[in-house]
Amino acid sequence: MDGIIILRRKRGRNMNKLKIGCSVTERIIMVISERNNYSAKILKEIDATYAHGTKIFHLLERKKIITKKRAGRKLYIKLTEKGIAIKHHLEGIRSIL
Residues 19-44: what's their mean pLDDT? 78
Whether the predicted pLDDT of 64 surpasses 90? yes
Helix (H, G, I), strand (E, B) or coil at 31: helix
Whether the predicted pLDDT of 14 surpasses 50? no
Domain extent at residue 31: 5-96
33 falls in which pLDDT band (50, 70, 90)? confident
pLDDT, position 47: 84
Q: pTM here?
A: 0.70
Dmax (CA) of the chain: 41
pLDDT, position 58: 93
Contact 37/77 with Cβ under 8 angstroms?
A: yes
Task: Report how many domains make up the chain.
Answer: 1
